[in-house]
């Protein structure tokens, strides 16, 4: 009797394994359909990046710098030869006062050699990368709109 119950348990387990593996295959297919952050860069931006080449090693398009992680967009408030400072506003809720508060955040980002045409006042997008210096942990990805 014990052998029969053990074999029935193993059959149930095998059927469970095949069902779960089928669902795992379906979920892997679903993940395959989703675009990664690298694929989200439009073809037009890739073409522009290919036209303008630079010898900058810390360029996400022509160099070896890999960008990954969070993406922020904001206005350039300062420009230096190899970096920019962007600023954007964020709001958060203060529970005690039942109000929202606005805060400004400033981030320093690497300015690749092929994107030197940006100016103060431009609205740009930056993406996280490895730490390049004490304060630079982001790199400029694209210009969303020029200064008016």
Does this model's pTM top 0.75? My answer is: no
pLDDT tens digits for 86-104?
999 999 999 999 999 999 9
CA 112, CA 57: separation in Å to the nearest integer?
A: 9
Under CATH, what is the fold of the domain 37-145? OB fold (Dihydrolipoamide Acetyltransferase, E2P) (2.40.50)
Q: Kindly report the average pLDDT of the chain as a whole number.
A: 78
Contact 108, 139 (CB under 8 A): no
CA 114, CA 55: separation in Å to the nearest integer?
A: 9
| Inter-CA distances, 134 with 5, 7, 121, Å | 65, 63, 25
Residue 15 pLDDT = 53
pLDDT tens digits for 11-34?
555 555 555 445 445 544 444 445
């Amino acid at each position: 009797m014990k052998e029969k119950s053990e074999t029935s348990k193993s059959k149930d387990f095998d059927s469970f394994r095949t069902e779960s593996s089928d669902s795992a295959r379906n979920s892997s297919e679903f993940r395959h359909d989703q675009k990664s952050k690298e694929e989200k860069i439009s073809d037009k931006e890739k073409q522009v990046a290919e036209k303008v080449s630079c010898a900058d090693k810390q360029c996400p398009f022509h160099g070896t710098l890999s960008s990954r992680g969070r993406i922020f967009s904001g206005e350039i408030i300062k420009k230096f030869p190899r970096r920019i400072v962007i600023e954007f506003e964020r709001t958060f809720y203060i529970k005690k006062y039942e109000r929202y508060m606005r805060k400004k955040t400033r981030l320093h980002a690497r300015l690749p050699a092929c994107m030197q045409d940006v100016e103060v006042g431009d609205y740009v997008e930056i993406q996280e990368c490895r730490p390049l210096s004490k304060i630079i942990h982001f790199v400029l990805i694209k210009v969303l709109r020029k200064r008016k």
